[in-house]
Chains A and B, each alone.
Chain A
Amino acid sequence: MKLSLTRTSLSSILAPLLCNSHPSHRPISSLSVSHRPTSLTPETTPLFLRPPTSSASLSDLLKFRNWAETLSSSAGASFSAQDNGPDTHLLLRELTWLLEDALENPKTLAYCNPSAVSNDLLVSLRTDLEELYTLWKQRIDERRPFQYIVGCEHWRDLVLGVREGVLIPRPETEQVVELVSDAIKGNDELGDGLWADLGTGSGAIAIGIARILRDRGMVIATDLSPVAVEVASFNVQRYNLQDKVVIRQGSWFGPLKEAEGDLVGIVSNPPYIPTEHINGLQAEVKHEPRLALDGGTDGIGDLLYLCNGAVSMLKPGGFFAFETNGEKQCKFLLDYMETKVKGSFNDINIVSDFAGIQRFVTGFRTR
């Protein structure tokens, strides 16, 4: 039982999936947002991509920085004591990055004596100074996540646009792309097929996989949230991957019925935090969409759903990788697969993240 999937058969599978680009075949409903160019308002464009339409004098910019530094220092230890939030050190790092994104030419961090610098030295900015004050006040007073402030997150070798309504991709999740890469190294045929990223959010994993696949297979990414679909489409286009990544709006496997039994890989970072933990989360996290975080009573509901779906959706030999909340969920999932859906999967593994926490469950659909 060899996994074989030629380029031709792939496109035939994809034909119905790709039909969004031909509205005549299928009416656009609210559930089938295509990857048409997404026009973002200036508000939602990541700061570093905005045109440098503003400017400020160097001394005013320094005043802002001093103010922001003082504010960060005073917030200092209290955030981390409160809810394991960022300490002064991290806040200052964020501030550096905010300025990096806001300045047109952030290249030099130079030493000079501002009292002697002429005040008229103008610095080009991608947002006005007043907005910078507002943003940093939001950062400290409201604990608005830094990534929403600058509208982007650096993830792997990508810079992904993010905004309120879409989960900020976590560093732990970078590893999912490595897991996929390793799986393809182990079985080259996986590189030619159709991959699915379910609950894609900003599109991070989907884009990461698409770049590994290069000119071979394809990725279809789904998300229930229209904001996520919009943001993911923006990111896919920014990396010029619109021919490799299809974004579909819908719940889990919903938008890919046509691909049943044809997927070579399924990856997902579903909501997995138990509902009762939501209130105690770090203040920043509470700004993120609950839809992407809250995994129900035990936090395991969606993972089990994905697990069951994978049985029918994966091709024999197909690979899966799911992110979980930790050891407890990993073990539960492993046990479930070995007993409840016995025989469906093989080589099931628990993989720890960089902090040593059991984070991922991976395996293959039995051939």
Chain B
Amino acid sequence: MKFAVSRFNPDTDSKPHMQTFEVAVERGMMLRDALLEIQRQDESFAFRHSCGEGVCGSDGMNVNGTNRLACITAVSDLKEPVEVRPFPGRPIIRDLVVDMSQFYQQYKAVEPWLVREDPMPEQEILQSPADRDKLDGLYECILCGCCSTACPSFWWNPDKFHGPQALLTAWRFLADSRDQATEHRLNELEGPYKLFRCHTIMNCVEVCPKGLNPTQAIGHIKHLMLRQGV
């Protein structure tokens, strides 16, 4: 099977180019396995990967035009030749490795930690199963970056628009019955950019490898803002 992968070495290349490799495909092979096979042929080919089972979020990349995790993408599902590129819109460090610092900055900007004003109880803070259910579809995010780097609004304003990942996280804490910083969180999201640059294009929903729905989370935040009259 033919794989065209994007190559870029900052020491020798002025811009990225595609290089084609032939990989013998085995039954049940994932794209990550194919990329490792390419590395066997050429050890200078670089990409990030680790757990191999879609939980660490290291190996996000653009495959035939769609952002995906290589380790849970079966090669049998891909149209040949498979074109593998780095995430769009991020500065390329080398081959498929991109600089994700702006993405992480946006994550940090939503203050992604539980805030509790009340004194802590001696045991657990109680939470009903129904309240806990509200976190399903939110806490599972693996920070792979597939969503934000597929979002046109994030491409244009990665410094000002939080992007789908960070906004999903913002809602994860707003939706947590234990969190006591709702007002602060909503105030921080005000203004034309951080939240309101989302134009519900929904690329994020389409590409999320964990089946999460950032657009819906953004809708919930907007709704809560209206209700609270912020």
Physical interaction between A and B: no
